[in-house]
Amino acid sequence: MYKYILFDLDNTLLDFNAGELNVLKTIFHSEGIEMNDENLSLYREINGDLWRKLESEEVVINDVLFGRFERFFNHFGISVNGEQKEQMFRKGINDAHDLIKDAKDILNYVKNKGYTIATASNGLYETQMKRMADSDILKYFDYHFISGQIGYNKPHAAFYQHCLNKLEAGNASEVLMIGDNIVSDIQGAHNAGIATCYFGEVDDVEADYSIRALEEFKNIV
Ligand SMILES: [Mg+2]
């Protein structure tokens, strides 16, 4: 059976969406723009478009990080320093550490059952470590696999291979990955021979297990 559990962080243990919404509200308000569904959709559209352009290598990362705020406020005829807004955003995200419901309870549960527990997260190492420390979940983990430090993002095979090497898992089938992202968490881990637990609202995800609430993870491990 499983000996190791890999936990995705954002929107699996840490409520990234809640933190992001709060900081976006502050940034919108800094230029007198209201936070409502319409303006949030506009931001998401601009942000999504830029991330897609990054994937197809039409732009570089700073065009995304700075440009999203410049474009958003341009829409209202406001010209801003995108780098400053990005700094506000980064600071807000660094400080955000709301937990998903039952996150601590689940970590306690798997810890007490003797599993070796690791993070498996796409993100900046310092940011993720700080958010875990602030939310008091850092103490549960035996290992941290964070893309910013490893140099590869999930779902890249090299990311998961790195995890397996460091865990010294005799067999990938001793490892279970839980996460909310169908591509980076579920398909990526599956391709590495790791068992998968999808946590989210989408039906018919091709994972070994699917749960809609963290509490249900207790039925699996
Ligand atoms: Mg996630």
Instruction: Name which of 5-9, 16-20, 134-138 the model is least confident about.
Output: 16-20
Q: Same structural domain for residues 122 and 68?
A: no
**Which CATH number characterizes residue 80's domain?**
1.10.150.240
Boundary-marking domain end, from 75, 95, 115? 95
Distance 122 CA to ligand 1 centre (A): 8
CA torsion sign for 29, 31, 35, 41 is negative
Separation between Cα atoms, residue 160 and residue 175, nearest integer Å:
11
3-state helix, strand and coil shares in percent for the chain, rounded to the nearest 5: 55, 15, 35
Q: Same structural domain for residues 71 and 135?
A: no
Q: Same structural domain for residues 122 and 168?
A: yes
pLDDT of 119 strictly over 90: yes
Separation between Cα atoms, residue 13 and residue 64, nearest integer Å:
26
Distance 191 CA to ligand 1 centre (A): 18
Strand partners, 209: 197
Distance 167 CA to ligand 1 centre (A): 21
Separation between Cα atoms, residue 47 and residue 67, nearest integer Å:
9
Count of domains in the chain?
2
Distance 125 CA to ligand 1 centre (A): 15
pLDDT of 88 strictly over 90: yes
Task: Find the domain containing 76 and state its range.
Answer: 17-95
Average pLDDT of the segment spanning 119-140: 94
Q: Same structural domain for residues 11 and 111?
A: yes
Boundary-marking domain end, from 95, 129, 151? 95
Joined together, the tokens standing for residue 158 give 């090299």
pLDDT 10s digits, 31-61? 999 999 999 999 999 999 998 898 888 998 8
Burial class (CB in 10 A: 0-12, 13-18, 19+), 154: buried
Q: Same structural domain for residues 87 and 120?
A: no
Q: Same structural domain for residues 208 and 182?
A: yes
Boundary-marking domain end, from 70, 95, 120? 95
**Which CATH number characterizes residue 9's domain?**
3.40.50.1000
Give the pLDDT of residue 169: 82
Q: Same structural domain for residues 119 and 87?
A: no
Q: What is the mean pLDDT of the chain?
A: 95
Distance 87 CA to ligand 1 centre (A): 22
Distance 30 CA to ligand 1 centre (A): 28
Q: Same structural domain for residues 65 and 107?
A: no
Joined together, the tokens standing for residue 123 give 């993100």
Distance 180 CA to ligand 1 centre (A): 5
Q: Same structural domain for residues 114 and 184?
A: yes
Separation between Cα atoms, residue 80 and residue 70, nearest integer Å:
6
**Residues near ligand 1 ion, CB 5 Å cutoff:** 8, 10-11, 180-181
Is the CB of residue 116 less than 8 Å from the CB of residue 4? yes
CA torsion sign for 101, 181, 147, 44 is negative
Which residues neighbour 83 within 8 Å (Cβ) at sequence distance 6 or greater? 62, 66
Q: Same structural domain for residues 91 and 114?
A: no
Q: Same structural domain for residues 90 and 111?
A: no
pLDDT level of residue 124 (50, 70, 90 thresholds): confident
Regarding beta strands 143-146 and 175-179, do their DSSP bridges make them parallel or antiparallel, or are they unpaired? unpaired
Distance 9 CA to ligand 1 centre (A): 6
Separation between Cα atoms, residue 201 and residue 68, nearest integer Å:
28
Q: Same structural domain for residues 134 and 179?
A: yes
| Helix or strand holding residue 32 (H, E) | none
pLDDT 10s digits, 61-74? 899 999 999 999 99
